[in-house]
Structure 1
Amino acid sequence: MDGVHHELASVVDIQTKRPVLAILTIDDEIQLFRGNRNNFADLITAGREQGFIVYVLTVSQLKLTRNSLDGFIYEEGTDSWIQQKLPFPDLIYNRIPLREDELLPEVKRKIAACLRNPRVILFNPAFFNKWSLFKWLRKTPHTRPFIPATRRLLSQEVLGNMMLKYKFLYLKPVSGKAGKGIMTILLQPEKTFPYRLRIQTDKKSITYNCGSLRKLWLRVRKECSGERYIVQQGIKLAAINDRSFDLRALVQKNQRGQWDISGIGARVAGSLSITTHVPRGGSIDDPERLLVSAFGQEEARKILNKTRTTALLIARQIERGARHRLVEMSMDLGIDHSGGIWFFEANSKPMKFDEPDIRKQSLDRIFQYSQFLLRKKAGKKAAPG
């Protein structure tokens, strides 16, 4: 353990020469801090390779007037996290893992203070809200065609009006994560109980058949249990062996400060699931393989190219809508039976991609973009007033 402390002390000695990035998370009484520890350790290693000092910092440890802060460094040899005095960060990468943590008053105050503070550059100030995303993307003709019809689920009347237009609907919590709380409604007019409601649970789904819109609405309201929901036109996705799939794009800023595709993965829905999320029984697959078997070689290539340009268009528009500097986002894009592309969701704090090439690129890009921002900041300082 002794060697660890010497090594870390020397890190602080050369603080003036190396850029510093802190991974922001929240305190935890039992385990020091919350968040995906493997991801944090990978970031620390990747940063070190690119000449950065990287450490984990909790909201309570972040004191904006200090020159050094208490933070946590990962020690590979002992597979442990060590608290250490570390230099104040040039960049703060927000990885607070849960929405409810980010909404705590002291957390909101600290993030607002970071955004105002010229000493520090903050990445990804907050989680996205589904309704805001659709509002921003509907604003421009460039992104509007990729957005399924979406309304706030405020009343039985809203639900009824959407059912008149679309026989298949998705209901999604505004602040949902990883497919939690998603429902679908299918209208089958020829049946005695024409409204079929499916509700996503942990690994499977539960189905209710309702005889009237009123009964359906009462059941939906009960399932929403006070959470805010949107109702959305259902898209019949392309499928392989009766299992639908969608594409997951990782979009990040590159070393030139521009949005770029770090990779596209594919997720196939579990046999009992209404979403493609891996924790809910979905599986990872190769997008090209799936698209080729669904559409043929030539068409698959066109769809994949169009997916790339669409993801970049959407990322730029989301950043404009958010009015904050964003560094990355993952997005779920569906491909319908005729090869049309649809936007379903974007996440400002992407989960780890399991595909090794995408994973490596995702880590490297964080530091390449950081270097770009720091050069730009240094250039401004050096410019004659």
Structure 2
Amino acid sequence: MIKTKVAIQVTSSGTLPEDTIMLGDAYVKLWKIPVGQHVPLKFGAFRQSLKIIPSAKTDGIRISPALAERMGLPPAGRTQLRFNYRSGTISIGPLIGVLISRDFPSTQDKPFGTITMFCRELVEACKAQGAHVYFFTPGALSGGSASSVEGWTYAGGWRQTRMPAPDIVNNRLTSRKLENATNVQHFLSEAKRLYGTAVFNEKFLDKPEVFDALQKDADLHRYLPESYLLRNYATFKKMCERYSHVFLKPARGSLGKGIIRVSHLEGESYQALHAMSAGSKRAVYPSLPKLYASISAKMKTARYQIQQGLQLIEFQKRPVDFRALVQKNAAGKWIITSIVARTAGNQQFVSNLARGGSLSTVSAAVTKSNLSTSVSRLESAKRLRLAALHIAQGIDTHIPAHFGELGIDLALDTSGKVWLLEVNSKPSKNDNTPLNEGKIRPSVRMMIQYARHLSGF
């Protein structure tokens, strides 16, 4: 199999028949493509046998406007071209489909709301690598067929057009309800079965699921705070008596929503701090049973995980943790794309940016923190990177799903020990962005490189 990046051009109307493409003479000779015979052309789920015409004046591929319209190809640009000797197939691609939660067709300049600029960034990064990308929502899958999708493309402006099912789907749905919808699951399973579509980040991760899975790996125990799915008072009592403070976290929560910090005060009294958008809500209870009774109503509507409290490093008495973005690269191997430190906002005990947290480099945060002086900044960063890679590999090994990028939240205690807080399979492109980057972030380029790896381009 041979691949290369070439120019692709849509000819003027009437220049080429719809069942014919013009290919640079050098490629025809190099790949020994039979001239005058029909050769299969593939673009995502699109398949058609076409006649090849060699052209000494063409350094790429030319197609008719009618064919380009049916394929959903832009009028000009560069593309990866691949020829498979075994099947005799010419493939254009990769074609990447990004599955997003919603669109706003009436707002042409921002059809995807707050993630529109991220989508433009993906478009530009794909152009640079000779890939193709479109964006689609669960609402575009109502027809039941997996062969094509009503998707958004960009060429001087956003437009909706019918696109073939992609080679790769990057699942960026932000709702479990949307992800589990019948039409979404049907499309993904049929695209995999019929067209060999690869889907990555195909599911959300629940906190108990992650900790239970990683417990199976002896090498990962050192990163895991004691943690259980909170089912009854006995577990709650055991954890509160064992640790000076514990955290209750919604099993399916995000952005710090619903987290409760429980701390032992004097005698039999306990304090509960509830994470709120404008700060922390404090409540004191005369006994542990009274506290448990007050939160048990929450447990009727949502599962909670109870987790050992940690003595995290702090800056100005505000806890600091770290978000590592771990992605698979062009060789399909996990690498660290970025690690940033997140310092909680005033009156907050969670560090999420949505709740007033602030970003800094790992080095700056560690230097200003109360970390033991026996642990160097360099050693701290090394420990964080090693933990993030080990945990990503553990997720791959012990959870039966396909992931291409993970947001891994880590913490350092004051002795320099690394702890896992949680793993996010739909990492925000704001929380995990290193400071002072250029227009196209490394995380975006890496996603396309992994898509090319999966599709063979």
5+ unaligned residues in a row in structure 2: which ranges? 1-64, 80-90
SS at match of 1:142: helix
Larger CA deviation: 92-101 vs 230-239: 92-101
User: More deviation in 359-368 or 33-42?
Assistant: 33-42
* Alignment partners' CA distance in 2, 1:220 and 1:229: 10
**In structure 1, distance between residues paired with 2:288 and 2:254:** 28
SS of the residue corresponding to residue 309 of structure 1 reads: helix
Please identify which structure carries the higher helix content: 1
Specify whether residues 146 and 196 from structure 1 end up closer, same or farther in structure 2 by C-alpha distance, changes over 3 A only. Answer: same
Letter in 2 for 1:374: S
Q: 1:329 aligns with which of 406, 411, 435?
A: 406
Q: Encode CA deviations 1:271-295: one digit per residue, 9 max, x unaligned.
A: 1112000110111111111112334
Deviation of 1:104 after TM superposition, in Å, equals: 2.6
1:304 corresponding residue in structure 2: 381
Of 327, 347, 352, which aligns to 2:424?
Answer: 347
1:291 to 355, 366, 370: 366
Deviation at 1:222, TM superposition (A): 3.1
**TM-score, normalization by structure 2:** 0.74
Distance 1:113 1:131 in 2: 30
Write the distance in 2 (CA, Å) between the matches of 1:13 and 1:360: 26
1:45 Cα offset (Å): 1.8
Please provide the CA RMSD for this pair: 2.6
Unaligned runs of at least 5 residues, structure 1: 1-5, 379-385
Structure 1 residue 37: deviation in Å? 2.4
The residue aligned with 1:207 is 282
Task: Give the drift of 1:26.
Answer: 3.8
| CA distance in structure 1 between the partners assigned to 2:225 and 2:193 by the alignment | 36
Partners of 1:98 and 1:37 lie apart in 2 by: 18
1:207-235 per-position Cα deviation (integer Å, ceiling 9, x unaligned): 00000112101111234461110100011
Alignment of 1:259-274 (within 5 A): 259-274=334-349
Aligned to 2:62: none
Which deviations, in whole Å up to 9, do the C-alpha atoms of 1:353-381 show, x marking residues without a partner? 34244971100101111222222xx8xxx
Aligned residue for 1:381? none
Which of 312, 316, 325 is the equivalent residue of 1:237?
Answer: 312
Seen in structure 2, the aligned counterparts of structure 1 residues 211 and 115 have a Cα distance that, compared at 3 Å, is farther
- Partner residue in 2 for 1:149: 226
CA shift, 1:115, in A, is 4.6
**Match of residue 173, structure 2, among 89, 92, 96:** 96
Q: Residues 66, 133 of structure 1: CA spacing in aligned structure 2 closer, same or farther, 3 A cutoff?
A: closer
Deviation at 1:206, TM superposition (A): 0.3
Does residue 259 of structure 2 align to residue 178 of structure 1? no
Shift of 1:96: 1.0
Identical-residue share of aligned pairs (%): 28
Cα distance, 1:155–1:258 mapped onto 2, change above 3 Å: same
State the match for 1:42 in structure 2: 121
Give CA deviations for 1:109-137 in whole Å, capped at 9, x if unaligned.
33344454552111111111111000011
Using the size of structure 1 for normalisation, the TM-score is: 0.87
Alignment of 1:43-122 (within 5 A): 43-62=122-141, 68-74=148-154, 77=156, 81-122=158-199
CA distance in 2, matches of 1:239, 1:27: 38
Alignment partners' CA distance in 1, 2:190 and 2:422: 28
Q: Deviations over 1:160-206 (max 9, x none)?
A: 0111211210000000011110000001234xx62000001112110
Between structures 1 and 2, the one with greater strand share: 2
CA deviation string 1:132-156 (max 9, x = no partner) = 0000111111111101100111112
